[in-house]
Amino acid sequence: MAKMPERRISVPPNWWPRLHEIVRKLWSAPIESQDPVIRRKKKKPTDRLDITAFLGISPSSIKNYKNKTEITERLFLRISEECGYDDYRLLLDELHEPPPSRMAVLGPIAQAQSSPATTTANASGDASLFDERSELIKEFKGVVFRHRRSNPILMSELIGKVEERLGIKFDSSASFITELGIARSSGELAGYFFNSDIAFLSVEKHAYKFRLNTPVKRMIGSAASAHIPDRCVIGIDGGSTVMHLVEELIGMIKTRAIQKVDVYTNSIGAAEKITQALIELDYGDEDRTCSVFLVPGWCRPKSYTVIPGTKRSKADSVSQVQRLIRTGVLPNRLDLAFIGADGVHGKQGFAMKGDLELAMKRYFCEHSNSIYFLMESQKLLIPQPEMIHPFCDRMTLITDGGNLATLKVTELVDGMASAGVIVQQVGHSGG
């Protein structure tokens, strides 16, 4: 049988030099703003950048593609992953985006800073944030974080929201984008994509994601904890909202509000926090208040979760989960499971954008008597490509009421109800 040709991806003619620029910015970004995947590659601040070593590829494997407008899909996916992109299309967008001219970015800044009129504007906090760029970056990230490639925010809307948060007025959209250009050049906006029209988050950082929208996530986690009975077997996913359920569970353990709960999880953070609480309470091996079982596999730094298997692929994770069930490492039946999601797949089910954690999320859904999805209502507006599980009558969605009144979400919730999904609303604001 003839071998099928490898699928190829079209890239711009100057893609290799452009990739050099992107990698160089990742490499030279301040250590505290670097993605853990990138940080691990750089052993010392003085280390010299070797782009092929950085990308985990051999010089021979790439030499035939440097000056071409096509590259094999497998090789490009590898490059995207090593650069910290969950979706290769995000890197492709960056390669097509023309690099900002350093003179174009720095020229107006230098001119404005030397202008007496601009100095006065700075002193009054009226139109410029040249001396307060950190505040601008903070508010930019706060607004953009909930937007992905599938639901980017318009630049005009972004500017309006940042102006409202900071209580200032930009002279023009160009001055705002210029400030962002400087921040991007210095590596302060690593993981965020923007141009003159749109902006969105391209690479998520676990620590920042956990801190975002904390009050709403805490309410959702608190409401979810009320569903945990004594003497049960539960699954806990690695989502940032689910981690607030973990905090509530720890409080229940410390006050002995629950007994004999077995927790199966792929969340390193959940296993660590619960185990630390048990250590502080000086629980021995015979104590059955709570037992924690962490799934074996690859510890993924980006999400602080375990991916079953060692090959870092969806197919391998699925086969490893099946093996863990057959050998009794994972139970064939859970009483209930708590799961996070990135969005929805049409009107069919809850979904996520990547597929590495899909196997464990599907395991929790398919092997649990009751399934609880913990999500901020704003995520119900976000379409995602990888469906976790279709809506069904074993599901309860626990969410805030911030976006439930919008027409799009109302129609979605009606569809959930017809499939038997219970919607439990907490609070009244989406934050």
pLDDT in tens, 398-429: 998 877 777 778 888 888 999 999 999 987 54
Give phi and psi for 350, each to the nearest 5.
Answer: -75, 150
Domain that holds residue 54: 8-96
Whether residue 237 sits in one domain with residue 199: no
- pLDDT tens digits along 335-344: 999 999 988 9
Helix 242-254 crosses helix 268-280 at what angle (to 10 degrees)? 10
Helix 358-366 crosses helix 314-326 at what angle (to 10 degrees)? 40
- pLDDT tens digits along 246-287: 999 999 998 888 889 999 999 999 999 999 999 988 888 888
pLDDT over threshold 60, residue 385: yes
Which one of 159, 183, 203 terminates a domain?
203
Whether residue 127 sits in one domain with residue 70: no
Whether residue 384 sits in one domain with residue 238: yes
In a domain, 416, yes or no: yes
Whether residue 14 sits in one domain with residue 70: yes
Which one of 203, 227, 253 terminates a domain?
203
In a domain, 181, yes or no: yes
- pTM of the predicted structure, to 2 decimals: 0.59
Which one of 143, 175, 203 terminates a domain?
203
Whether residue 147 sits in one domain with residue 64: no
Residue 151 exposed, middle or buried by CB count within 10 Å (0-12, 13-18, 19+): middle
Give phi and psi for 214, each to the nearest 5.
Answer: -60, -45
Whether residue 215 sits in one domain with residue 341: yes
Q: What is the pLDDT of residue 168?
A: 80
Sheet holding 343-345, edge to edge: 343-345, 349-352, 386-390
> What's the structural domain count of the chain?
3
> Position 199: which residue type?
A
How, if at all, do strands 386-390 and 349-352 pair? antiparallel
- pLDDT tens digits along 355-382: 889 999 999 999 999 999 999 888 888 8
In a domain, 108, yes or no: no
Residue 252 exposed, middle or buried by CB count within 10 Å (0-12, 13-18, 19+): middle
In a domain, 79, yes or no: yes
Give phi and psi for 178, each to the nearest 5.
Answer: -60, -45
In a domain, 150, yes or no: yes
Q: How far apart are CA 57 and CA 47, in angstroms?
A: 18
Do you know the residue count of the chain? Answer: 431
In a domain, 2, yes or no: no
Of 185-199, 219-233, 373-387, minimum mean pLDDT range: 185-199
* CB-based contact 75:91 (threshold 8 Å): no
Nearest CA to 194 out of 179, 209, 207 is that of 179
Q: How far apart are CA 385 and CA 405, in angstroms?
A: 24
Radius of gyration from C-alpha coordinates of the chain: 24
Whether residue 155 sits in one domain with residue 299: no
Nearest CA to 349 out of 358, 238, 307 is that of 358
Q: What is the pLDDT of residue 125?
A: 40
Residue 236's domain is classified under what CATH number? 3.40.50.1360
- pLDDT tens digits along 164-176: 878 788 878 888 8
**At 138, is the secondary structure helix, strand, or coil?**
helix
- pLDDT tens digits along 15-73: 888 888 888 877 776 554 455 555 555 555 566 778 888 887 888 888 888 888 888 88
Residue 184's domain is classified under what CATH number? 1.10.10
Whether residue 308 sits in one domain with residue 182: no
Q: How far apart are CA 245 and CA 219, in angstroms?
A: 9
In a domain, 334, yes or no: yes
Whether residue 146 sits in one domain with residue 55: no
In a domain, 141, yes or no: yes
- pLDDT tens digits along 103-155: 333 333 333 333 443 333 333 343 343 446 778 888 888 788 778 777 789 99
Whether residue 280 sits in one domain with residue 405: yes
As given in the structure block, the two tokens for residue 250 are 């720890």
Q: What is the pLDDT of residue 128?
A: 41
* CB-based contact 277:251 (threshold 8 Å): no
Whether residue 294 sits in one domain with residue 230: yes
Whether residue 124 sits in one domain with residue 75: no
